[in-house]
């Protein structure tokens, strides 16, 4: 505890009751009476990653074919020291350290040793010089890290299966790239803290399908409109049973995540950017603004933390003066909109206190100006 001012003085807090004086903090205003695993820890790790891969492309008539394969081996090992909690000075009157956590002479040695393959295959067919279609299938892997091995020593290799098809078209007045995809994830580890203490380790998967659009339209000279949009349907799967958690009313519930919408992922999001270029005798100027819309989402796997939707505006102006000077003015979220990007990802369920969620907002209005000289 410190005074709320520059160069603060520590605040020492005592409590008197029943003829006794209790030290709530020490002389430096410190309170270390938190029996949680992040208060005292010691760990050290080593990891070796080896991989062998091969890739190639082939051009046959109007076809471009490509493929590749990779085999990866990971060896992870480490040492993790145990913790316990108790009174550090055997004095019940010093409340600030009566249940502090400290290290003990107990060690665990997590290890992980596994190999996994990944591969990709794709094809592009050119109908003519400005139109083509493409398709790709790939299987990828994500090897567990240190934290995954500590929380769940038997954690599987995370696997990602991706399938996509797309179409591209380019002409003087338009560039278009539209694609459809389906992505499957398996063996995703997740650890969350329970409000009443303890941790729960999950392994689950997800299934997603969607459409991506990128296009630049130029209806007349010096003017363009860029549109980037995504439609996504994603759900959790491959997790049997339910997960215990503490509900908003304080009761213990058991939630099922299979079939729930992926957290923090909007079904629809898009950005539209009109831009206009003004040629001048000394260079050119470009003006643009962007409207961004992010659809409604949830902040947790049980879909109990609604994050809502939001939109914001960005503006910009660029001036190229001669061959050397460049001036740029940019502003983001110029209307100072409020938008929530995520809730409390470390908790499960609504994760609220008094009906209010712990959440992270987008940044407020920001404007910057840049001067660049090109040598």
pLDDT digits (tens, 9 = 90+) for 197-214: 667 777 889 999 999 999
- Residue 187: strand, helix, or coil: strand
d(CA 92, CA 18): 14
Q: Which helix (H) or strand (E) element contains residue 364?
A: none
Q: What is the pLDDT of residue 37?
A: 47
Domain count within the chain: 1
Q: What is the pLDDT of residue 346?
A: 64
Q: Which helix (H) or strand (E) element contains residue 141?
A: strand 131-142
In a domain, 84, yes or no: no
Per-position b or e across 69-95, b if 16+ CB within 10 A of its CB: ebebebebbbebeebebeebeeeeebb
Nearest CA-CA partner of 93 in 32, 158, 14:
14
In a domain, 155, yes or no: no
d(CA 76, CA 46): 6
Q: What is the pLDDT of residue 271?
A: 98
> Which residue ranges in the chain fall short of pLDDT 50?
37
Backbone angles phi, psi at 148, to 5 degrees: -65, -40
In a domain, 313, yes or no: yes
In a domain, 353, yes or no: yes
- Tell me which DSSP letter residue 89 carries: S
Q: What is the pLDDT of residue 347?
A: 67
In a domain, 116, yes or no: no
Q: What is the pLDDT of residue 193?
A: 65
pTM for the structure as a whole: 0.78
In a domain, 131, yes or no: no
In a domain, 98, yes or no: no
The rounded Cα 372 to chain-centroid distance in angstroms is 33
- CA end-to-end span of the chain, whole Å? 53
In a domain, 244, yes or no: yes
What would the two tokens of residue 132 be?
């083509």
d(CA 308, CA 292): 14
Structural domain that includes position 281: 221-375
């Amino acid at each position: 505890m410190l005074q709320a001012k520059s160069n603060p003085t520590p605040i020492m807090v005592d409590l008197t009751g029943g003829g006794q004086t209790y030290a709530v903090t020490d002389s430096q205003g410190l309170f270390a009476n938190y029996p949680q695993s992040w208060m005292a820890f010691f760990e050290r790790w080593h990891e070796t990653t080896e991989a062998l891969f091969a890739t190639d492309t082939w051009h046959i008539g109007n076809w471009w074919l490509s493929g590749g394969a990779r085999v990866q081996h990971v060896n992870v090992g480490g040492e993790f020291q145990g913790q316990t909690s108790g009174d550090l000075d055997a004095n019940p009157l010093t409340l600030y350290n009566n249940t502090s956590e400290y290290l003990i002479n107990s060690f665990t040695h997590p290890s992980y040793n596994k190999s996994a393959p990944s591969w990709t295959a794709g094809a592009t067919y050119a109908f003519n010089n400005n139109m083509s279609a493409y398709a790709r299938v790939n299987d990828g892997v994500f090897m567990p890290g240190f934290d995954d091995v500590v929380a769940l020593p038997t954690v599987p290799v995370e696997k990602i299966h991706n399938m996509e098809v797309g179409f591209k078209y380019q002409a003087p007045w338009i560039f278009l790239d539209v694609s459809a995809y389906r992505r499957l994830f398996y063996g995703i580890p997740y650890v969350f803290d329970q409000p009443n203490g303890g941790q729960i380790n999950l392994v689950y998967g997800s299934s997603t399908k969607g459409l991506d659009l990128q296009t630049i339209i130029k209806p007349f000279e010096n003017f363009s409109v860029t549109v980037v949009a995504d439609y996504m349907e994603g759900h959790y799967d491959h997790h049997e049973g339910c997960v215990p958690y503490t509900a908003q009313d304080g009761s213990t519930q058991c939630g099922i995540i299979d079939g729930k919408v992926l957290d923090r992922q909007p079904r629809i999001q898009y950005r539209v950017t009109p831009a206009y270029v003004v040629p001048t005798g000394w260079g050119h100027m470009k003006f643009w603004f962007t409207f961004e819309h992010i659809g409604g989402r949830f902040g947790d796997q049980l879909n109990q933390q609604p994050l809502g939707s939001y939109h914001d505006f960005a503006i910009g102006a660029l001036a190229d003066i001669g061959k050397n000077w460049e001036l740029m003015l940019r502003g983001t979220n110029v209307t100072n909109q409020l938008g929530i990007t995520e809730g409390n990802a470390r908790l499960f369920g609504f994760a609220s206190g008094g009906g209010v969620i712990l959440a992270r907002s987008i940044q407020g209005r920001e404007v910057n100006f840049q001067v660049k000289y090109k040598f």
